[in-house]
């Protein structure tokens, strides 16, 4: 795959010389600030349903069941001299159960390791293909979609998993609807008003799944989606510039659509937290790769989802080592949050799903109580609770850069100050995501 003579490694990674990292093993800070992991049990009955009386919304597709269960304690400000927690966010684009069992698999993995995740739901995954004409995508024909509509049985499985995931403490965001990444109809060309139309339709498909499907044998989704929805990731990481004004207008708190972010502390764009996929070390290569399954695949099998099977074991290990290497770099350095994006896919024999599970296990078993695997919502709750001056100072630390004087001294006063050699400001970009998408329902590019 080439792009006008620009190599894939330039599109998907930065030269290793651009980001010098610390080669320190382990992740011990000498200051453990608590796991912040959600507890289980309170506010639920034996089958995972909430005890509180649900208040149906609209046609009963959703219901107000009160505060979300299984959430961390209310975040507090860092105390002077305290080491920041190490946050890790695992997120999923599309978030449909297409019959491969991956949605429940990773709900189980999360439960086993005390993790919360963000599931970016594609609204069309709750709309039967027989009702495709209800979807009016901007700059595309009515009913068009670059991802497949799900069968009724898979819509049911998706609804059941979304309900269970939210009750378990996970976040439900949006991946919008038709996943248009190429041509004139690409999301890259949408105006802010067109993004508003796409969002309104995504919310409508969630809020009216009962009417649109005719299903009467399923419980409602246990949340008010217009209140629940506070963030997104766009298809193929395109179109953020025009999305952000609409996101801010809707009161969204974050967006995870930009590509090529560095492993530094995040900042806001247009009043919205910018939480991008990040460049992480790519083992055995002289460049870096974006922290997403599709981008690793693009560099291993030239964007083919069915590369040579004899390469799968080595590729799985390389993917796992890339994710864990990104974790170690921040954990031993500036302790910026790590963002990892995925799809419920079976590319190259399912090795990327295995790599994600391996990474979660390695992080959870690293033995460090100051590591928190959280959703994007939980992360921005923590960010919003901090002293802005402290966050400014944290943003002054470059990729892989730990405070030379140690955390107790660096944040000893609890307020921001001058730093050297850092990367401040609102944004920092380094790479672009891969464009294009594999064929098949539910198997989309970022």
What is the chain's pLDDT, residue by residue, as a tens digit (446 residues)? 333 322 233 333 333 222 222 223 346 444 433 334 444 433 333 344 445 578 999 999 999 999 999 999 999 999 999 999 999 999 999 999 999 999 999 999 999 999 999 999 999 999 999 999 999 999 999 999 999 999 999 999 999 999 999 999 999 999 999 999 999 999 999 999 999 999 999 999 999 999 999 999 999 999 999 999 999 999 999 999 999 999 999 999 999 999 889 999 999 999 999 999 999 999 999 999 999 999 999 999 999 999 999 999 999 999 999 999 999 999 999 999 999 999 999 999 999 999 999 999 999 998 776 999 999 999 999 999 999 999 999 999 999 999 999 999 999 864 433 333 333 333 333 333 333 333 233 333 45
3-class secondary structure for 160-203? Answer: HHHHHHHHCCCEEEECCCCCCCCCCCCHHHCCHHHHHHHHHHHH
The answer to whether residues 445 and 294 touch, using CB atoms and an 8 Å cutoff, is yes
The three-class DSSP label of residue 415 is coil
DSSP secondary-structure letter at 367?
-
Residue 340: both structure tokens together: 């990892």
Neighbouring C-beta atoms of residue 108, cutoff 10 Å: 12
- Ordered by where they begin, the domains of the chain are 87-410 (3.20.20.370)
Distance between CA atoms of residues 321 and 281, nearest Å: 9
| Gap between the Cα atoms of 268 and 274, Å rounded | 5
Instruction: Give whole-number Cα distances, 114 to 40, 71, 359, in Å.
Output: 10, 11, 14
Nearest to 66 by CA among 37, 36, 44: 44
Task: Give the single-character DSSP code of 345.
Answer: -
Environment class of 283 (CB within 10 Å of its CB; exposed 0-12, middle 13-18, buried 19+): middle
Contacts of 441 (CB under 8 A, 6+ apart): 98, 147, 148, 149, 150
Handedness of CA 264, 268, 269, 272 (dihedral sign): positive
Could you give the CA distance from residue 328 to residue 163 in angstroms, rounded to a whole number? 33
Q: What is the pTM of this model?
A: 0.85
Rounded to whole angstroms, the Cα distance separating 331 from 28 reads 8
* 3 state SS of 92: strand
Q: Assign residue 248 a region (left: φ > 0; alpha: ψ between -120 and 50; beta: otherwise).
A: alpha
Q: Give, as one character, the DSSP assignment of residue 441.
A: T
Burial class (CB in 10 A: 0-12, 13-18, 19+), 393: buried
- Helix (H) or strand (E) segment spanning residue 433: none
């Amino acid at each position: 795959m080439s792009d006008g003579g620009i190599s894939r490694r330039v599109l998907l990674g930065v030269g290793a010389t651009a980001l010098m990292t610390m080669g320190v093993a382990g992740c011990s800070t000498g200051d453990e600030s608590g796991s912040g992991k959600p507890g289980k049990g309170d506010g639920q009955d034996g089958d995972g349903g909430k005890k509180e009386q649900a208040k149906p919304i609209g046609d009963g597709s959703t219901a107000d069941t009160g505060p979300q269960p299984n959430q961390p304690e209310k975040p507090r400000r860092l105390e002077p001299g305290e080491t920041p927690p190490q946050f890790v966010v695992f997120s999923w684009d599309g978030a449909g159960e297409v019959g491969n069992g991956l949605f429940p698999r990773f709900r189980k993995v999360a439960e086993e390791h005390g993790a919360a995740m963000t599931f970016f739901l594609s609204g069309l995954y709750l709309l039967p293909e027989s009702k495709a004409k209800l979807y009016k995508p901007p700059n595309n024909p009515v009913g068009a979609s670059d991802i497949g509509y799900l069968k009724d049985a898979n819509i049911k499985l998706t609804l059941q998993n979304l309900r269970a995931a939210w009750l378990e403490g996970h976040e439900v965001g949006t991946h919008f609807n038709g996943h248009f990444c190429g041509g004139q109809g690409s999301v890259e060309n949408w105006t802010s008003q067109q993004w508003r139309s796409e969002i309104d339709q995504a919310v409508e498909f969630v809020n009216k799944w009962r009417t649109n499907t005719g299903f009467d044998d399923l419980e409602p989704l246990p949340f008010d989606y217009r209140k629940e929805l506070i963030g997104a990731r766009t298809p193929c990481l395109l179109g953020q510039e025009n999305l952000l004004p609409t996101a801010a207008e809707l009161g969204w708190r974050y967006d995870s659509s930009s590509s090529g972010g560095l492993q530094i502390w995040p900042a806001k764009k247009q009043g919205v937290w910018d939480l991008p996929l990040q460049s992480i070390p790519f083992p055995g290569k002289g460049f870096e790769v974006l922290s997403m399954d599709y981008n690793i695949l693009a560099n291993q099998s030239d964007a083919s989802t069915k590369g040579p099977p004899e390469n799968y074991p080595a590729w799985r290990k390389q993917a796992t080592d890339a994710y864990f290497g990104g974790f170690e770099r921040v954990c031993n350095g500036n302790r910026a949050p790590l963002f990892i994006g995925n799809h419920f896919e079976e590319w190259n024999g399912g090795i990327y799903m295995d790599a994600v599970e391996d990474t979660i296990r390695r992080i959870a078993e690293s033995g460090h109580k100051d590591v928190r695997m959280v959703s994007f919502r939980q992360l921005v709750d923590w960010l919003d609770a901090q002293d802005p001056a402290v966050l400014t100072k944290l943003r002054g630390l470059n990729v892989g850069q730990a405070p030379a004087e140690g955390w107790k001294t660096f944040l000893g006063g609890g307020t921001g100050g001058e730093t050297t050699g850092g990367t401040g400001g609102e944004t920092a970009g380094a790479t672009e995501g891969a464009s294009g998408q594999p064929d098949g329902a539910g198997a989309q590019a970022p």
